Structure 1
Amino acid sequence: MTFVVVATEPAEPGEPTAELPYDGPVTVLDRLLGQLGALKVPDVRIVTRPEAAQVLRKNGHEVIESPDLAADLREIAALAAGSAEFFLAHADVVISDELLTRLVRDKTTTAITAKQAASGTRPAVRVAKRRVVSAGSRFHQVTDPGAVFRGVLKVTDPAALAAACEELAGLALADVPPVRVLGLRDETLDVFVDSDARDEFDRRVPEHDVLGRTAPGGDDAVALALVGLVRSGVRVTARNVDVLVCERVLTPAEAAAAREAVDAVDEDRVRLDAAVKSNDGFFTTYFVSSYSKYIARWCARLRLTPNMVTCISMAIAVIAAVWFAEGTRTGLVLGAILLYVSFVFDCVDGQVARYTRSFSTLGAWLDATFDRAKEYVAYAGLAVGYGVTHSGDVWGLACAVIILQTCRHMVDFSFAVHKGTVPPAPIRRVPLDAPDDAALDPLPKAAAVRRGGLGMVAVRVSAALEKVPGARWGKKIIILPIGERFALIGLTAAFFDAKVTFLALLLWGGVAAGYTLSGRILRSIV
């Protein structure tokens, strides 16, 4: 793992912006290097200009001298060629610990972007479906930009980056004229957008009025590296900063403002909120996840691993089944309560994993296996309890519910596996010496081929329903996800008996199976 820090932006003659004060004697660069040290990044390189090298060495930093932009790109290419995992960032970036940690753990080539675009002082990008489809630099325009690049990049294909940077170095030596936009803020600036889109960059910065207002005066090898990747056909994921902070600071006022922005964010709360799935069902979202994340943080502080929490959830489910097996009203009520608690811990184990970033193949397998085991042991307990207190039994109904659920899971898992094997759409390649990005644009709407058929109609209807208030939750509830199933089991058992529970599961589960299966078929024929 190699992390290259580019310290080529001058704050004053001979002194880079990397040496701006951040917190007392701690500079912006000191802070970034401390963050990388805490993440145990093994190889950190600093590229800077010869006139700034003396200042950086005086402050204890080992540096690589680079005289110009072409040399920057060649140095990046050389370092990338020998790395399995490569990072690139400006030395004057102030970034939240949580955001940097997420970037380091990303499995794909990723650029940190921001949806809001404050001014033409930052490289523009166009993002579609969480992918950077066009990136800008002083030499490359972006048509219809919707975000800006914040100067931090992770590359999982360093060979592609090395090739692109070598080619770009040749172009930089050729003295390619920069793209210019006239009239932005009554000045002539080297900016990163075309004139038709500059209004997108006249909005206020929500985080702080000072941030993002100063245009860089130096070279931007990092932005060029992103352009090279995108135009070479590399799939680059856009990670939005959201409530976290990632901003270049080019003046002392911006450095102070960035520190205020970082201090204003409770990063532990952000990480805790991110531990909760955003696409859970209605019952899980409103009756479990609203408080289970605090249990997850408590478990993490007790140093309980996700697998331990999974086992606790399974144990509680077994106790619930024992109470169900008693067959009395008290046993059914206590069993329902314990089954709910078991489901809470079933949610907590994943939240602990995401909060502590402790993932394992064993944990994923245990979670999926115990989900089925908890459900089926509850069915067994209910069937035993019904036989104890009633004449006759409901084992036939219990087996029917198990068969139905097994078939539903089989359909879901097989569809998910098939869906993952569909190759992504190819990414267009654009010459690096082309100043505009017209070749990156999709086909004009009039010439685009519109796919039809019943499958496409179903997809469009489903997408339209997402915009109808309440329809999104209705779609989630009807498929009877695990949260709704556990709620249905607990409520029907507590207020009625096992027979009603199994009949309700068969009725609702049958409707859910029909709805899901028809949707899978229609989506498969699009």
Structure 2
Amino acid sequence: MTVAVVLATDPIADLPYGTGPEAPTLLHRLLGQLASLNVPDIRIVARPETATLLRKNPETVGPVAPTVIESESAVEDLRAIARTAREAARPVLLVPGGTVANDELLIRLSGRQRDLATAVTETTTGGEDADPAVRLGGGRVMSAESGFHRVTAPNAVFRGPLRVAPARRITLARVAERLAALLETPGALPDAVPRTSGVPALLLVGLVRAGVRVSALGAAPLVCRQVHDAEEARAARSAVEAVDEDKVRLSAAVKSNDGFFTTYAVSTYSRYIAKLAAKLRLTPNMVTSLSMAIAVGAAFAFAAGTRTGMVVGAVLYYFAFVFDCVDGQLARYTRRFSTFGAWLDATFDRAKEYAVFAGLAVGSTAAAAGGSVDGGDVWTLAVLAMAVQTCRHMIDFSFGARGRPPAAPLPVTPLTSPGDGLPPAGAVAARRGGPIGLLKRLLAKTGSGPAYWAKKMIVFPIGERFAVVSVTTAFWNARVTFLVLLAWGSVAAAYTLSGRMLRSVTR
């Protein structure tokens, strides 16, 4: 659950969203969007005139009946935010009243449960954008601009919405109180940027300079804009309505960092199966169970020890993997996640592989002597393949259990300083030396093209493992399948282990 603070302190929030006398204002549209997200506590910070109108017409502000907080200045805005942050035990969502955004973007922002703080940003190539500049690095906001603070080497802009998790709400309150005190003191904050960027930008600067890791949520391909006049409001509405939000959500359901086989042989169409499953009201756990059932069918087909059984098993095993992808895509598309579902998916992934290994060993023994399916007694190879996979997953999960190392701390820069204390872009990378620095630079160059896919495939991800089994069983026999699995699996285990050790000793 979330506490939303809508800053309706600018007359821009009263601009109409659309045409005609029935068109809602930007503020009322935003309130309706928040209400549709089931935000239980909405607070509107408004100037006295607007606050009076909102109190006189409570039925027009949306079905959630928000609390109206009267404020006469940015100082009072900040103190109202500080009080809200101290009182609330839930995430705090700050949204300017002139925000025009897709529903899907606000849903993504409110759903960032793991982030300590999240800011909506958008990359930019020039300085023509009116929104405050920011510098992004490693998926986080490293520096932010306000009317009093500059950014070294900016590469994006801040679109206005900001979410702070309960673990950092006291920090948010302290930052807001500190900024309010500085604004009240003449000359305490230098005039560094010749434009006004508003309270959200000030709070973003304060959070970043307080050492809070603020994750960057990219707006594209969705729309999030702060409008400044009626023309911009019309343009923003056109941009919002031009986006097919369902298509964007469906595309986002597909992982962007999958392996080569999954990306090109499954994900090109599996998203549409996920959408069909959603229409049929199937749950992700149902699809996971279906995937397991198909894999068991493949194991029985392999156990027949015939060429027909091997081909049928190969086809079934491929579709077992397709539905293994669909369950996660369905979960992301419908936003139906559960701890049990994650456990079930991981458990069935191993069970599917081991069931098929057993089926292949049985089929190889049962095959007609001298036939193309006859691979002899391959039980030893099957057990070795299981052992290699078990060790490989043990390496992965034990390393993951350590958690990610803390992000490199940003320079501690006081709010009274106009600069952010960051080096120019590329300066940090240029200072890295020695073998470790050379290795990191070489790995950084494998971010695209054939080298990228080679790096993804060498670790023998699940898609490639399923592909190896399907292809080798369809054309050869179980002995060939296990020999390829063992050879590639051993290389992958050595590569993974060396990488884990290198990362462990250099952290």
Which of 419, 431, 444 is 1:463 aligned to?
Answer: 444
Distance 1:38 1:292 in 2: 29
The structural deviation recorded for 1:119 is: 2.5
Q: 1:446 to 1:113 in 2, by over 3 A?
A: closer
Q: 1:225 to 1:58 in 2, by over 3 A?
A: same
**Equivalent pairs, count:** 482
CA contact (8 A) 1:32 1:93 kept: yes
Q: 1:71 to 1:410 in 2, by over 3 A?
A: same
Superposed, 1:84-99 pairs within 5 Å as 84=89, 85-99=91-105
Which of 26, 48, 51 is 1:50 aligned to?
Answer: 48
SS in 2 for 1:250: coil
The structural deviation recorded for 1:120 is: 5.7
Summarize deviations over 1:111-134 as a string: whole Å, max 9, x none. Answer: 101112553632111111111111
Summarize deviations over 1:357-379 as a string: whole Å, max 9, x none. Answer: 11111111111110010011011
Match of residue 476 from structure 2: 496
CA contact (8 A) 1:178 1:190 kept: no
Q: 1:144 to 1:179 in 2, by over 3 A?
A: farther
CA contact (8 A) 2:298 2:312 kept: yes
Residue 401 (1) aligns with residue 413 (2): no
Which of 152, 173, 179 is 2:191 aligned to?
Answer: 179
CA contact (8 A) 1:86 1:158 kept: yes
CA contact (8 A) 1:132 1:237 kept: yes
Match of residue 372 from structure 2: none
Superposed, 1:326-405 pairs within 5 Å as 326-390=304-368, 392-405=376-389
Summarize deviations over 1:412-443 as a string: whole Å, max 9, x none. Answer: 2122223x2533323333222222223x4489
Residue 479 (1) aligns with residue 459 (2): yes
Distance 1:406 1:435 in 2: 54
Match of residue 77 from structure 1: 82
Which of 156, 159, 178 is 1:167 aligned to?
Answer: 178
Summarize deviations over 1:238-292 as a string: whole Å, max 9, x none. Answer: 1111110111112111111111001111111111111101111111000000000
CA contact (8 A) 1:324 1:381 kept: yes
Distance 1:520 1:123 in 2: 39
CA contact (8 A) 2:120 2:219 kept: yes
Q: 1:128 to 1:377 in 2, by over 3 A?
A: same
Match of residue 13 from structure 1: none
Shifted more, 55-64 versus 166-175: the winner is 55-64
Q: What is the RMSD computed on CA atoms of the aligned residues?
A: 2.1
Gaps of 5+ in 2: 62-66, 370-375
Which of 145, 157, 163 is 1:154 aligned to?
Answer: 163
Q: 1:191 to 1:168 in 2, by over 3 A?
A: closer
Distance 1:512 1:227 in 2: 44
CA contact (8 A) 2:149 2:192 kept: no
Distance 2:128 2:54 in 1: 30
Superposed, 1:211-290 pairs within 5 Å as 220-290=198-268
Match of residue 434 from structure 1: 417
Residue 136 (1) aligns with residue 118 (2): no
Summarize deviations over 1:4-25 as a string: whole Å, max 9, x none. Answer: 001111xxxxxx2111111342
Match of residue 64 from structure 2: none
Q: 1:447 to 1:296 in 2, by over 3 A?
A: closer
The structural deviation recorded for 1:446 is: 8.9
SS in 2 for 1:190: coil
CA contact (8 A) 2:190 2:417 kept: no
Q: 1:92 to 1:445 in 2, by over 3 A?
A: closer
CA contact (8 A) 1:309 1:348 kept: yes
Distance 1:56 1:120 in 2: 32
The aligned amino acid for 2:388 is L
The aligned amino acid for 2:109 is L
Gaps of 5+ in 1: 10-15, 182-188, 193-219
Distance 1:227 1:315 in 2: 53
Match of residue 214 from structure 1: none
CA contact (8 A) 2:287 2:323 kept: yes
Match of residue 210 from structure 1: none
The structural deviation recorded for 1:227 is: 1.4
Summarize deviations over 1:456-485 as a string: whole Å, max 9, x none. Answer: 443332222335x31111122222211111
* Percent sequence identity over aligned pairs: 56
Distance 1:447 1:129 in 2: 13
Match of residue 73 from structure 2: 68
Distance 1:459 1:222 in 2: 36
Distance 1:507 1:342 in 2: 24
Which of 399, 419, 424 is 2:407 aligned to?
Answer: 424
CA contact (8 A) 2:314 2:473 kept: yes
Query: What is the TM-score normalised by the length of structure 1?
Result: 0.87
CA contact (8 A) 2:301 2:309 kept: yes
Match of residue 5 from structure 1: 6
The structural deviation recorded for 1:408 is: 1.0
Superposed, 1:410-421 pairs within 5 Å as 410-418=394-402, 420-421=403-404
Distance 2:423 2:55 in 1: 45
Match of residue 432 from structure 2: 450
The aligned amino acid for 1:491 is V
The structural deviation recorded for 1:401 is: 0.8
Q: 1:426 to 1:336 in 2, by over 3 A?
A: same
SS in 1 for 2:460: coil
CA contact (8 A) 1:80 1:159 kept: yes
CA contact (8 A) 1:458 1:523 kept: no
SS in 1 for 2:311: helix
The structural deviation recorded for 1:311 is: 0.3
The structural deviation recorded for 1:390 is: 4.3
Q: 1:54 to 1:179 in 2, by over 3 A?
A: same
SS in 2 for 1:138: coil
Residue 111 (1) aligns with residue 106 (2): no
Match of residue 190 from structure 1: 195
Q: 1:88 to 1:358 in 2, by over 3 A?
A: same
Superposed, 1:15-26 pairs within 5 Å as 16-23=11-18, 24-26=22-24
